[in-house]
Structure 1
Amino acid sequence: MSAGRIVLIILAVILVLGLMGGCAVYNGYNQAISLDESVKSQWAQVENQLQRRFELIPNLVETVKGVAGQEEKIFLGVAEARKSYFQADSVNEKARAASGFESALSRLLVLRETYPALKSDQSFLKLQDQLEGTENRLAVERKRYNDAVRALNTFSRKLLGRLYAGLAGVEQAEYFEIGEEAKTTPKVEF
């Protein structure tokens, strides 16, 4: 074999390896972008369900107020928790505010056990059903968001994934976790 032919073969091998490496980087970069967009999309779905929840609450509060007017502290807690969500700037702040809201909301729903008239009020029952449906949808969207976060974080922690995520400017995302206040059983005292 001539020296020219050997050089040509070596150049062809280098070219093929270069193309394969370029394709790998391209695919890894695109995967990092796709995973990041998936996390953002899932967070938008969580926010859609949170918005639905927050739109239902004033109606629920007004219905309960009509029956249990003296429980102003609980109503103020729900209103304050709702307000803190809309004032939050980051995903983490919104997640914490949503957890605080869940705690206040559970105290509000405990009222129905204390007021028999509230249990039979049709508008309360309809609103409660809508709220329970929203809570279920929210739980599903939270899970999907956390699944997307897990996929992105797993990818970006892997050897080459870290490189691709860095090239794409993609950072690890944070899970939507329930705050400590939402883990405690609500207590309503009269």
Structure 2
Amino acid sequence: MKRMIILMMVFAASLTFSGCSYNELTAKQQNVKGKWANVESAMQRRADLIPNLVETAKMSGVQEQEVFGQIADARSRLLNAASAPGQGEGGDKTPEQRQAVIDANNSFGGTIGRLLMLQEQYPQLRSSEAFMKVQDELSGTENRINTARIDFNAAVTDYNTLRNSFPTVLTAGLLGFKEEPFYQADEGARSAPQVGDANSLRRTQPANPAPVGNSN
């Protein structure tokens, strides 16, 4: 009789702890998803600004077709990864899908650096009000991405800490709660490309491009 009572108490306790763990995991996972939505929003804003920079550069006589092509390809990969249907519960993105978006965004960021470097190669870009205005907007967007990334990583830390603690880790394993990836910058993104490096920028127009505008 006593053994039966003890088993019932253990069973009841396990259900209680499991239920509490599930509720906490769900709440913190939802917080991660909310913070991720802010990251994606900032990424989308940056992706929307880049075509304006490219068009302004083209209108200023810049002919760096290789760089423009890299930007278009990287932007397309980012938008495809971000717009891919979620494969998680409720149509949300899985941790693997979020990691794919992070990787695509890091690649896109590298091409943006190459675009901004063109100001050193083409003086007319430095004097272009339209180019500088969009660049200022882009700078503000980078700050938003950084803030959203910090908030996202804080939410991931909170969730993963709970998810990997005992006995919650047992509940997480049984119910399919996966670890969430941190937003980490690509190794190459930590070093800015050098102006004039032939491997990072290939000039495809004459060394002295004709000035833009009327010459009288």
TM-score by length of 2: 0.74
Deviation of 1:55 after TM superposition, in Å, equals: 0.7
Distance 2:171 2:58 in 1: 54
Hey, what does 1:49 align to over in structure 2?
Answer: 42
Aligned to 2:68: 75
Which consecutive residues of structure 2, in runs of 5 or more, have no partner in the other structure?
85-96, 195-200, 204-216
Q: Is the Cα–Cα contact under 8 Å of residues 29 and 159 in structure 2 kept in the other structure?
A: yes
C-alpha distance in structure 1 between counterparts of 2:189 and 2:157, whole Å: 23
Q: Deviations over 1:123-150 (max 9, x none)?
A: 1111001101011100111111111111
Residue type of the partner of 1:48?
Answer: S
Q: Which has the higher helix share?
A: 1
- Deviation track 1:137-179 (CA, whole Å, cap 9, x = no partner) reads 0011111111111111111111112023235431111112122
Instruction: Identify the range of structure 1 (73-82 vs 143-152) with the bigger mean alpha-carbon deviation.
Output: 143-152
1:122 maps to which of 126, 129, 137: 129
Distance 1:101 1:167 in 2: 37
Number of positions where the alignment pairs a residue of Structure 1 with one of Structure 2: 182
Q: 1:98 aligns with which of 69, 94, 105?
A: 105
Match of 2:51 among 17, 40, 58: 58
Query: Which of 130, 149, 153 is equivalent to 1:146?
Result: 153
- Report sequence identity in percent: 34
1:151-166 to structure 2, matched below 5 A, reads 151-166=158-173
Equivalent in the alignment of 2:211: none
Shift of 1:182: 2.0
Instruction: Report the equivalent of 1:4.
Output: none
Of the three residues 100, 108, 112, the one matched with 2:119 is: 112
The residue number in structure 1 matching 2:210 is none
Equivalent in 158, 167, 171 of residue 178 of structure 2: 171
| Worse-matched range after superposition: 174-183 or 151-160 | 174-183
- Unpaired stretches in structure 1, ≥5 consecutive residues: 1-6
In the TM superposition, residue 184 of structure 1 has moved relative to its aligned partner by 3.5
Partner SS, residue 47 of structure 2: helix
2:31 paired residue number: 38
Residues 109-118 or 121-130, more deviating: 109-118
Q: Which moved more, 1:44-53 or 1:111-120?
A: 111-120
The whole-number CA distance in structure 2 between the counterparts of 1:169 and 1:33 is 11
Q: CA RMSD in A?
A: 2.5
Does the alignment pair 1:133 with 2:126? Answer: no
Tell me, in whole angstroms, the C-alpha distance in 1 between the residues paired with 2:172 and 2:11.
21
Larger-gyration structure (1/2): 1
